[in-house]
Structures are given as structure tokens and as C-alpha cells.
Chain A
Amino acid sequence: MSEENEETKTSNEQQEMEEAVASPEKAEEAKLKARYPNLGAKPGGSDFLMKRLQKGGQKYFDSGDYNMAKAKMKNKQLPTAPAEKTEITGGHIPTPQDLPHRKTSMVTSKLAG
């Protein structure tokens, strides 16, 4: 039984190799899958597109968390996760010092120089 399985395994590998030679795209796909074994089957799913729709990424802020962190109380449980599973919440509570400065200077473009 196990011998048969090994034979089918080698013929599958052979077929993949032949495909890779015929199609550079498939060869690249094999390379990618080798580097990232946990990659999903195809990238066109809603998770992928949802990330694209968010572009810059949402910044979450909870004033309760913020105030409790400020008071240095141990926060045993983070607020319940939102309904949509694709949203990402950060573990770090931001403080004003952490936030990047909003751009304020409106310098003339170098193209006009």
C-alpha cells in the first residue's frame, strides 16, 4: 500500500516539475508556496480585497482602554472583538506621544522650483 502511495507522490511531483518548466508563472507559484506554506489557495478572496479597501489601515482608539492604561490598571480582558473577523485591532494603547505628527508644513513643490 505504502509503495503505491510513494509512486503516486513521485508522479505528482514529476507532473508539477513539468508544469513548472512549461509555465514560468507556475514555477513562481511553487517558489512562493515553498516560502510561505500557510498561503491560502488563491488570493482573490474577500479577505484580500477587504485589506485593499482599507488601504491605510484603520486606527482604533478606545477611551476606556486609554484611561485605564493611563491609570496603570491591569487590563484583564480586551473589549470583545468586532463582528467582522477581518478587522485588525492593535494590542498597544496609543498615547499622544506615540502618535506620528500630523503634517503641518505646506512647502512648495520642488517641481515648481
Chain B
Amino acid sequence: MMAGPGGGSSDVQWCFSQVKGAMDDDVAEADIISTVEFNQSGELLATGDKGGRVVIFQQEPESKSQPLRRGEYNVYSTFQSHEPEFDYLKSLEIEEKINKIRWLPQKNAAHFLLSTNDKTIKLWKISERDKRPEGYNLKEEDGRYKDPSTVTTLRVPVLMPMDLMVEASPRRVFANAHTYHINSISINSDCETYLSADDLRINLWHQEITDRSFNIVDIKPANMEDLTEVITAAEFHPNQCNTFVYSSSKGTIRLCDMRASALCDKHTKMFEEPEDPNNRSFFSEIISSISDVKFSNNGRYMMTRDYLSIKIWDLCMETRPVETYQVHEYLRSKLCSLYENDCIFDKFECCWNGNDSVVMTGSYNNFFRMFDRGYQQDVTYEASRENSRPRSILKPRKISTGGKRKKDEISVDSLDFSKKIIHTAWHPLDNIIAVATTNNLYIFQDKLN
């Protein structure tokens, strides 16, 4: 159904590969998955949760005996990234929930990632240790110091192999730079800086320097009663280190060039689709709020997700998107109840596949959607325990909107709105996807013949 990484074929079949997490329905708040991210090689897959914990999975290398089977993802490292805090000055609780994880490009044997909660960004180093020195002169093997008078000879400690240990250590803490809640972090292609965005401001950091950050966007009005929109997401361009975009709650995207001025309050480009004023309703602005923005891998397009649709924009054209895909248009006639149960404020994310030919996003009832840009085809799949037999092929799902419901179709009224897929990720080089339900992580792969 989708174009594979080699391009061309529309015969991709998606199969269940793995599911992580507890099977019981009673979900502890801390276990709610809040972010999912592959690293640049796809070998590592990181998740963050509401309890402030990070779990990193590593893909096993392909076995020589089964060359056509991709390796499984197994736990590589897990650590507590953030802890709950209380801001006594402002009487505010600071949640430990991990809002975003972003991997730094790998420079040496260790892996580095940035993880952030509402207020503080941390740089974590994940390194392997598979050797340890033995034969100290002054210490016993268990670490106790020897009586110096018993030391009669000198020897050089020798490195001996040990069981692999993966250690995560916080190397930098970037704190106290955000008055409002951080929604995005994005690493610059210059390999030196990164940005962090909250509701009203965007800051630029150097990866090594924690006591200083530069404010590059500030949309806070002088009088808060004049506040009309907030920043919802921000991202650096994948290869132009001077360019970044940020999206707003009013459905606009602004592209900024850091060469133009130190403070990028004046955008270089503004992307906005004109709206028919006759169609305006109470819900118009809420459903136009952009919940995610992602540049394409080739850097020529960007994708935005609003409540009901995905839009693909050509960076050269600000007036309207070049492609629009309806994620769940049938929800338009349910907006009243979705407003009452707050679902209308759900912030769905979206992602590109490696060659930018397919985009993916989540929906309700543990459904997720893929849109093939080349073949102009779309498909709906479900992440559920029922479809979790090893290598079972995912069957496309259909939602019936009209009166007559066909067999195997699900009616809009029986959709479970508490089962939402907010976070999805696509392996940068391969047809492997990670889909997070509330507390489970599903990994699907395309069927290799």
C-alpha cells in the first residue's frame, strides 16, 4: 500500500513486530508514553513517559542465520530523566513528564540525547562499558583500600572484559530559561546549537553552555489581555542552520532566518491557508491550531498537523499548502462532544518516512493513518493486542459514516476516544514504525519476502 524505501512499489504490507509495556487495562499515570523518537541511524528508539523516565531500545543486529529478518528492539538503557519539582516562588507544580526527546548526531562511541520537561532541558550521555581495570596497587578488588605497608610490589592494572553495562549520565542541565511550558526542542544542523520553544518564546542554546541562552522569538504582548495566539511547535531546518519555523494556535507557520536579526520577531515567511469567512464557527480557531510541524528530510517541504488534517507545504509557497490529507473528517460532526470532553485539544504529532513519500499520524480508537503522497492512497491501521500475533499482517480498518454499516466497519459512535495515538515515529532509513498507544509501544515492520 505504501512506497517502500526503494520507491515505486505500492505493495508494502505492514506486520506486527513487537509490543512493549504492560497488558493490564489499569494504567498508572506515570506509564503514559509522552514522546517517541528514533535516532539518526534508527538503531536506537527512545521513549519518554509522564513519570519522567526514559527507556531506550536498541535494534539487535540482523542474524546471519535469518538474513531477511530485521533485528528486534530490546531494552538498552532506562533512567529517570526528570523529577517532579515545585516552584515555590510562583506556587506552581512542575511536572516531570518528558515532553520531547531529540537525539544528537553521533560523534563517537557514546550516544547523546536531549530530553525536556516543561521547564528544564537535560543532555544525557549514554555510554557502554564492557571492560574494567583489575589489579590495582592500593585497592582490593572490592574497593577497600589496602594497608600501605602490605604493598611490596608495583603492577600495572589490566583491562579485563566484563558484562556489558550501559550507563546514562546527565552531562548538562539547561534550566531557568522558560517562564512558560516548553513544547519543543530542535537540534541545529550546525551541530553546536539547539532551540527550545515554550508558549510565548523561543530560545537558542549552545550545547555546551548552560548558564546562557539567547531569546530569538518573543510573542508575549506588553499587555497579556492582548494575547491572541501561542507558539505550539518549533523546528530547525534539516540542513539550513540559519532557518527555523514555529507554528501557532491560530494555524499559522512562521519561517525565520537568524541571519536577518538577533531577535526573529519579524518572520521571513508566513504560511497560512485563507479561510472562507462563511465557514467560520466557534470551533474554527481551535481545530486550526497546529499541534506539530515537521520539515521533510530533504528540507523542501514541511508538514503541519491540525485537529482534523495534515497539510504539506512547499517552503517556496506561503499562500496555501500543496497537499491536504483528511485524518478523521467524520469528527467534524462530533465537535460539540469533543469540546466537552477536551479531546478537541489533543495534540497529535506526525512524521515522514525516510524518503518523504509517506506521512503518518495517529487518531482515536488506537487507529493510525498513513498517506502515500505519490500514489495518493491512504490507509488506516489499528494498534491493538488482538492484532499482535508475531508477523501477523495488519488489516486496513474502515470507519462507516453513513447509515449503513458494512461488515468489518466501525461506526463513528463506537470509537473509543480514550484510546488515542498521539506519538508515532518512522525509522529514518527503513520501513519500521513505532506507534505509542496510551501505555504501550507497538513496533510494526513491512513484510520482507
Contact = CB atoms under 8 A, between A and B. Distances in A.
Interface string B258-286: 00000000000000000000010111111
A100 B339 CA distance: 29
B75 interface: yes
Contacts of B340: 32, 35
B53 interface: yes
A59 B281 contact: no
A60 interface: yes
Contacts of A108: 53, 78
A23 B118 CA distance: 38
B21 A25 contact: no
Contact of B285 (A43, A61, A110): A43
B53 A29 contact: no
A110 B21 contact: yes
A32 B333 contact: no
A42 interface: yes
Interface stretch (B227-235, B372-380, B392-400): B227-235
Contacts of B80: 106
Interface string B180-202: 11000000000000000001100
B220 to A, nearest CB: 10
Most buried by B among A24, A29, A44, A84: A44
A109 B81 CA distance: 12
Nearest to A110: B22
Contact of B199 (A28, A33, A53, A103): A53
Contacts of A5: none
Given A106-B80, A110-B31, A49 B333 contact: no
A33 B75 CA distance: 50
Interface in B80-125: 80, 83-84, 86, 90-93, 95-96, 118
A111 B279 contact: no
B51 interface: yes
A56 interface: yes
Interface residues of A, number: 37
B230 A107 contact: no
Most buried by A among B80, B249, B335: B335
A23 B279 contact: yes
A65 B22 CA distance: 45
B55 interface: yes
A50 interface: yes
B279 A50 contact: no
A50 B21 CA distance: 36
B250 interface: yes
Interface in A68-113: 84, 102-103, 106-113
B333 A24 contact: yes
A28 B336 contact: yes
B91 A46 contact: no
Most buried by A among B51, B86, B118, B200: B51
B249 A49 contact: yes
Contacts of A61: 91
B390 to A, nearest CB: 19
Contact of B224 (A27, A42, A50, A110): A50
Interface in B166-191: 180-181
Contact of A59 (B93, B227, B333): B93
A91 B404 CA distance: 53
B281 A29 contact: yes
B405 interface: no
Contacts of A23: 279, 281
B212 interface: no
A46 B224 contact: yes
B281 A31 contact: no
Nearest to A84: B224
B116 to A, nearest CB: 15
Interface of B: 20-22, 30-31, 33, 47, 49, 51, 53, 55, 75, 78, 80, 83-84, 86, 90-93, 95-96, 118, 180-181, 199-200, 224-230, 249-250, 279, 281-286, 332-336, 339-340, 439, 441
9 contacts: A29-B335, A32-B282, A44-B250, A53-B181, A53-B230, A60-B91, A102-B84, A106-B53, A112-B78
Interface of A: 23-29, 31-33, 35, 39, 42-44, 46, 49-50, 52-53, 55-56, 58-61, 84, 102-103, 106-113
Shortest Cβ-Cβ A-B pairs, 3 listed: A24-B333, A28-B335, A28-B336
Given A23-B279, A32-B282, A111-B20, 8 more contacts: A23-B281, A25-B283, A32-B335, A33-B282, A42-B285, A44-B249, A106-B53, A109-B53
